[in-house]
């Protein structure tokens, strides 16, 4: 089947069917990894929809290819699709033209007419519209491609004309005041153009008093520029006069004469010219009528000679010094009659605001035969209206999807009728209004048949005589007759007194009647316009006034009923739309309160009810069928459906995930689910699948029988962004975070401009550890809604966690300002939960920046406003931490006691108090609080068990500590729990069971210091008797004893290790242990030698490869060391080698790779100070001192009593200070922590 298209193809390409298939095609294109999708595969089955759909598909295809850097030309499509119709071909040509413009190219329309001669005439029309609508200037399609010859400047001489000054410039030419040298320097107006036109030939045929004539025309041989010489009559145009402030308020024609003298640079003509006298003796409106008559005479002269002007407007009317108007700029003029429709179409042009409706339609459709002399009469009518009213009757429409649609909308507006003149300017004579309205009649047949008829009527108005062609209202006609015949009436007065009285009464009644009808109609028309502009308050006032004026008058009964109905309709419409806008405004904060941890669910539920109340959402079985919704425009109605769906869904989801046991609320949520499922459809805006799944979750919470859930599609096959978001939310509730992220990513992909989808994807990605993805999506959300504070709050919190404190501070301060503005706008006196969370985060940042005074100020502000809500309690907790760090132990203890007393179930407060006691050496108090924490969490929190183990170890209850440590390691195996277990075994003296066999690891066991050193030495002494002998037990005891002695830096460790080697010289393990001892004691060469000897015995021993790799890296041979580490990893070594690999990569200047390795090491062991130190050094290498300082602070928190490591941390922190004095407080705080006498696992701050 041929897909040749009709003239409607461009319009059909914007139909819902075409837009839908184009969107599906674009989605498939962006997903494709190899072969691009074929546009024809997406064509709809309905043959009527296919032409427009194919155009939409091909336009999408060419745009996507250009976006991808594949700049295909239209010829490629013509060769590939030989059945393309002319309209589709023209549309694709125009698409290529626009793409070139968007790429900063300057395509030439003539080039396209040469490339595609078969559609050249249609291309002229398309590019004509493009120039007209795109530039807003007068346009023509006769401008052919010519070399860019530079225009001359004032002061130059060209072809015998000395250019004095530039008078103006347009789309085609420049006009200069010039002196013609050959004729005694007579002043002339010289028009200079790059290309020739028919204007000289046209003007040569038009010899009229009110048309600017032509002296001569020539082409400059030196430049090739075309010159048109005309007499110089001054520089003042009608547009210049109308823009003058004095003229805008003029009441008499004398003001026009004064403005003419004031604005013209030439001297006023001596004597009393007829033009100036005619203007000065008339009122302003009659002076305009007199001018209009002269212009109409000029048009009649042109029309009689077969010439149409086509661009009548104030700037094309020159007003001479003696007050005479003269038409100029016949560059667009054409023959009034032609037999060639393509030729006629190709000559269309003009200025949009002055075009007749048939002119606009001809320009849109390319049919020029309907444009005739009456179109010039329409343009003159617009000119007269503008001169009288100070504004044009019609403005360029807004919201058109294409240039052709814009032209048709403009034509439709003109056909709706002309606004009244006298309703706002009663000084305009009724006769003159009748003339202007006939000029502006939508149908050409209803206008003046000739410009001569118009001239006669305008002259009649100017002379206060009866109209010959337009129909003047009877009262006005009678009054004007009375004024003209007042002398005769005076002589007959005695006979006509009674008749006069009766006639006057009749006239007055008729006048009042007509005036009342006109006033009501004008008010109703104004009300309709106000309603279209969504100014419903004004519309209601206008219709109310119209109904009052027409009430009780039989001849106005129909208008009265209509006005009253419209007033009620628009009053209700205004309320409904205002309610919808309020809901849209309130939805955003409510959405965040329902999804995050922002406040009480009960409060959020109440706000939801208040927000949805105007639309009876919670009381109507199917609110989507309410008649009120029909009063919303499509955009608001669709958004309302989506917003209500999301809010209800989020509320039900919040109820489903609320840990509180609230069966009544669960049942309410279930009923709501069932109601929604009663009217939901599989598609937007109420996707059924997620709601059914949510109903199943609620059933489980209520203990009801399981519901078979709809299986969700794979994210990659779902096109509905809302459906994707809701499935993602379901998966998150179910604890399937990876699947939830896939769904949220798909939602953001399907609707890239949706702020909310990007925000929630960022939030969840941040919780999942994908900080780069989170920052990227927070950035998208911020760019989509710069005045929304939530994304800035989320990004600020994430940046703070990453240590980018300066950037975090900027985001959080901006969020604070935006939240304050929202609070002021809503006139809320109490701080909102969002604002308090922002200030809490600002306190965190100050605390991390080493500014305890600033942090305390933020916390004090929160506590003063409300000490008992979540942010207030978190602020009290963090202030207690600041007190503890400053040595104010009792003050910190009082704060913790107060928090626990007011809420015994506050885990964070109780943990803070227990850690404070542990730090202060009050092991008994610490053990009591940790025991309560273990009880409250039913023994399922590994960290509480581990902390209680340390407290019990300090109390000497070693066996109980052992049980806690075992359970903590069972619940969550980790290197930290292994170190705790090792420490307890050491305290128990069970040195043969130690799971750690590296002296550096033994030296950083918890609860270190002198007690650890003593326990290590006791363990070594306990092994000494066993190490004597030649058996396996002696070998094992010697190896363990060597490690213990090395951990306390005892040189005897080397001797003991040598004894082990002597016992088993062919065992790789003995060389491993002695090598580790050598490395810890600083003998790197001996350590590497032992690693080599061990590998000779077992080349695949990963521990020996690790040892040699670490030694080589530390000895300045990072590449060789990296090779050993990589081989060990290939052979199955664990994550413990990531740190060593990071050291090698940093030495090789691969900072990004080093950061990646240390990050992986911390995933395995988040308590490793060496990994934090490594990351700090990498960040310093990249010049990111903020991030480096943050890593050093984390390292300090886990460094324990290791003087060497603490000294290194202080020295590295000093490298963060050059050029950054703001880092000094943080460095001082770090040094203070590094030299603390006793270390405990101590959080830097607490969050909600």
Beta strand extents in 317-406 (DSSP E only)? 317-319, 325-327, 334-335
Q: What is the CA radius of gyration of the chain?
A: 44
689: its two tokens: 């699948």
Q: Round to whole Å and give the CA distance between 1068 and 894.
A: 58
Q: Which of 393, 448, 387, 384 is nearest to 415 (CA)?
A: 393
Q: Round to whole Å and give the CA distance between 670 and 657.
A: 13
Where helices occur in 920-1024 by DSSP H, the ranges are 923-936, 942-954, 958-971, 975-988, 999-1003, 1010-1023
Give Dmax (Cα) for the chain.
159
Three-class DSSP category at 308:
strand
Neighbouring residues of 157: CB distance < 8 A, sequence distance ≥ 6: 163, 181
751 backbone dihedrals φ, ψ, rounded to 5°: -135, 85
Three-class DSSP category at 216:
strand
CB-based burial label for 785 (10 Å; 0-12, 13-18, 19+)? middle
CA of 1119: how far to CAs of 891, 1126, 1147, 1152, in Å? 54, 11, 9, 17
Is the backbone of residue 417 left (phi > 0), alpha (psi -120 to 50) or beta?
A: left
- Under DSSP, the state recorded for 418 is P
Binding residues for ATP: 191
Q: Round to whole Å and give the CA distance between 1084 and 532.
A: 86
Place of tokens 């003298």: 261
Peptide bond into 704 cis (omega under 30): no
Q: Which of 394, 470, 481 is nearest to 435 (CA)?
A: 470
Q: Round to whole Å and give the CA distance between 217 and 202.
A: 12
Place of tokens 């404190």: 805
Q: Which of 699, 697, 731 is nearest to 714 (CA)?
A: 731
CB-based burial label for 339 (10 Å; 0-12, 13-18, 19+)? exposed
Binding residues: 191
The neighbour count for residue 1224, using CB atoms within 10 Å, is 14
**217 and 179 Cβ atoms separated by less than 8 Å:** no
**945 and 968 Cβ atoms separated by less than 8 Å:** yes
413: its two tokens: 């507006």
Is the backbone of residue 1105 left (phi > 0), alpha (psi -120 to 50) or beta?
A: alpha
How many residues are recorded in the chain? 1248
552: its two tokens: 């009780």
612 backbone dihedrals φ, ψ, rounded to 5°: -90, -10
Neighbouring residues of 1181: CB distance < 8 A, sequence distance ≥ 6: 1146, 1149, 1151
Q: DSSP string spanning 599-637?
A: S-HHHHHHHHHHHHGGGTTTTSTTGGG-GGGGGS-HHHH
CA of 205: how far to CAs of 122, 302, 344, 447, in Å? 31, 8, 21, 26
Q: Round to whole Å and give the CA distance between 1007 and 956.
A: 13
CA of 54: how far to CAs of 10, 35, 70, 116, 871, in Å? 10, 20, 20, 20, 57
**1057 and 1067 Cβ atoms separated by less than 8 Å:** no
């Amino acid at each position: 089947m041929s897909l040749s298209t009709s003239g409607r193809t461009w319009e059909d390409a914007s139909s819902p069917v075409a837009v839908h298939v184009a969107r599906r095609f674009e989605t498939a294109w962006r997903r494709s990894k190899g072969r691009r999708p074929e546009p024809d595969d997406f064509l709809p089955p309905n043959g009527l929809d296919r032409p427009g759909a194919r155009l939409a598909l091909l336009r999408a295809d060419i745009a996507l290819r250009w976006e991808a850097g594949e700049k295909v030309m239209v010829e490629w499509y013509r060769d590939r699709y030989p059945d393309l119709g002319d309209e589709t071909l023209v549309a694709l040509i125009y698409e290529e033209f626009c793409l070139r413009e968007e790429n900063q190219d300057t395509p030439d329309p003539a080039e396209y007419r040469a490339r595609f001669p078969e559609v050249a005439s249609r291309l002229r029309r398309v590019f004509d519209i493009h120039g007209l609508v795109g530039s807003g200037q007068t346009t023509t399609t006769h401008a052919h491609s010519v070399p860019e010859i530079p225009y001359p400047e004032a002061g130059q001489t060209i072809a015998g004309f000395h250019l004095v000054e530039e008078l103006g410039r347009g789309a085609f030419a420049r006009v200069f005041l010039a002196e013609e040298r050959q004729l005694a320097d007579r002043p002339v107006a010289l028009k200079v153009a790059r290309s020739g036109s028919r204007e000289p030939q046209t003007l040569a045929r038009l010899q009229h008093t009110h048309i600017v004539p032509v002296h001569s025309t020539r082409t400059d041989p030196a430049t090739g520029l075309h010159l048109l010489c005309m007499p110089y009559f001054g520089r003042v145009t009608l547009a210049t006069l109308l823009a003058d402030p004095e003229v805008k308020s003029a009441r008499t024609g004398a003001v026009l004469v004064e403005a003419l003298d004031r604005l013209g640079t030439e001297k006023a003509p001596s004597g009393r010219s007829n033009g100036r006298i005619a203007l000065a003796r008339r009122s302003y409106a009659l002076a305009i009528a007199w001018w209009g008559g002269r212009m109409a005479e000029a048009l009649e002269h042109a029309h009689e000679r077969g010439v149409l002007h086509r661009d009548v407007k104030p700037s094309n009317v020159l007003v001479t010094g003696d007050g005479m108007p003269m038409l100029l700029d016949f560059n667009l003029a054409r023959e009034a009659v032609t037999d060639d429709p393509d030729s006629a179409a190709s000559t269309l042009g003009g200025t949009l605001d002055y075009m007749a409706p048939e002119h606009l339609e001809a320009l849109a459709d390319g049919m020029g035969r309907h444009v005739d002399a009456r179109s010039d009469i329409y343009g003159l009518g617009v000119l007269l209206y503008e001169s009288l009213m100070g504004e044009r009757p019609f403005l360029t429409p807004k919201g058109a999807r294409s240039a052709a649609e814009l032209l048709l909308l403009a034509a439709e507006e003109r056909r709706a009728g002309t606004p009244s003149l006298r309703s706002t300017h009663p000084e305009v004579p009724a006769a003159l209004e009748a003339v202007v309205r006939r000029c502006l009649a939508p149908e050409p047949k209803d206008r003046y048949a000739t410009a001569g008829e118009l001239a006669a009527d305008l002259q009649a108005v100017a002379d206060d005589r009866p109209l010959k062609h337009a129909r003047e209202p009877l009262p006005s006609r009678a009054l004007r007759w009375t004024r003209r015949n007042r002398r005769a009436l005076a002589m007959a007065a005695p006979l006509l007194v009674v008749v006069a009285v009766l006639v006057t009464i009749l006239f007055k009644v008729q006048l009042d009647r007509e005036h009342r009808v006109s006033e009501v109609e004008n008010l109703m028309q104004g009300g309709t316009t106000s309603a279209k502009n969504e100014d419903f308050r004004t519309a209601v006032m206008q219709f109310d006034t119209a109904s009052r004026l027409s009430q009780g008058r039989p001849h106005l009964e129909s208008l009265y009923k209509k006005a009253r109905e419209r007033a009620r309709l628009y009053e209700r419409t205004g309320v409904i739309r205002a309610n919808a806008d309020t809901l849209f405004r309130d939805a955003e904060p409510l959405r965040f309160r329902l999804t995050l941890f922002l406040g009480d669910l009960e409060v959020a539920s109440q706000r939801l009810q208040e927000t949805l109340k105007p639309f009876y959402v919670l009381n109507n079985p199917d609110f989507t069928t309410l008649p009120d919704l029909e009063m919303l425009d499509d955009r608001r109605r669709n958004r309302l459906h989506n917003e209500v769906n999301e809010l209800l869904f989020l509320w039900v989801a919040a109820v489903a995930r609320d840990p509180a046991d609230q069966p009544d609320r669960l049942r309410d949520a279930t009923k709501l689910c069932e109601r929604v499922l009663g009217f939901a459809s599989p598609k937007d805006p109420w996707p059924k699948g997620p709601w059914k799944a949510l109903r199943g979750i609620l059933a489980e919470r209520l203990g009801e029988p399981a519901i078979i859930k709809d299986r969700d599609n794979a994210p990659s096959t779902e096109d509905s962004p809302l459906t994707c978001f809701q499935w993602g939310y379901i998966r998150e509730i179910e604890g399937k975070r990876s699947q939830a992220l896939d769904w949220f990513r798909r939602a953001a992909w399907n609707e890239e401009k949706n702020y909310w989808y990007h925000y929630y994807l960022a939030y969840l990605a941040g919780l999942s550890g994908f900080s780069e993805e989170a920052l990227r999506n927070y950035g998208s959300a911020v760019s989509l809604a710069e005045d929304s504070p939530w994304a800035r709050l989320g990004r600020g919190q994430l940046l703070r966690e990453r240590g980018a404190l300066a950037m975090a501070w900027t985001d959080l301060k901006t969020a604070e300002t935006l939240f304050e503005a929202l609070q002021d706008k809503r006139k809320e006196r109490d701080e909102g939960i969002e604002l308090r969370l922002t200030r809490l985060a600002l306190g965190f940042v100050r605390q991390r920046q080493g500014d305890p005074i600033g942090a305390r100020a933020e916390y004090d502000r929160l506590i003063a406003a409300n000490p008992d809500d979540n942010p207030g309690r978190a602020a009290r907790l963090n202030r207690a931490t600041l007190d503890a760090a400053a040595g104010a132990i009792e003050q910190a203890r009082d704060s913790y006691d107060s928090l626990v007393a007011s809420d015994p179930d506050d885990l964070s407060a109780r943990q803070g108090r227990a850690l404070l006691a542990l730090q202060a050496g009050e092991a008994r108090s610490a053990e009591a609080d940790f025991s309560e924490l273990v009880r409250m969490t039913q023994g399922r929190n590994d960290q509480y068990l581990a902390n209680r183990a340390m407290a019990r170890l300090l109390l000497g209850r070693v066996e109980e500590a052992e049980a806690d440590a075992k359970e903590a390691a069972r619940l969550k195996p980790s290197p930290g729990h292994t170190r705790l277990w090792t420490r307890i075994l050491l305290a128990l003296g069970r040195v043969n069971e130690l799971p750690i066999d590296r002296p550096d690891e033994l030296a950083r066991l918890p609860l270190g210091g002198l007690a650890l050193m003593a326990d290590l030495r006791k363990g070594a002494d306990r092994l000494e008797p066993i190490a004597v002998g030649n058996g396996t037990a002696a070998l094992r005891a010697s190896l363990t004893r060597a490690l213990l002695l090395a951990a306390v830096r005892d040189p005897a460790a080397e001797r003991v290790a040598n004894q082990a080697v002597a016992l088993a010289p062919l065992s790789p393990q003995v060389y491993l242990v002695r090598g580790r001892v050598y490395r810890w004691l600083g003998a790197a060469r001996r350590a590497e030698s032992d690693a080599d000897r061990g590998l000779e015995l077992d080349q695949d021993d990963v521990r020996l490869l690790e040892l040699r790799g670490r030694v080589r890296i530390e000895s300045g041979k990072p590449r060789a060391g990296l090779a050993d580490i990589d081989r060990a990893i290939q052979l199955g070594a664990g994550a413990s080698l990531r740190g060593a690999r990071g050291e090698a990569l940093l030495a090789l200047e691969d900072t990004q790779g080093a950061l990646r390795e240390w990050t992986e090491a911390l995933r395995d062991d988040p308590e490793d100070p060496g990994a934090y130190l490594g990351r700090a050094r990498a960040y310093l290498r990249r010049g990111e001192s903020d991030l480096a300082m943050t890593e050093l602070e984390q390292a300090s928190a886990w460094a324990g009593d290791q003087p060497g490591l603490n000294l290194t941390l202080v020295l590295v922190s000093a490298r963060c200070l050059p050029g950054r004095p703001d880092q000094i407080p943080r460095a001082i705080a770090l040094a203070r922590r590094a030299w603390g006498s006793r270390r405990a696992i101590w959080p830097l701050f607490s969050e909600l």
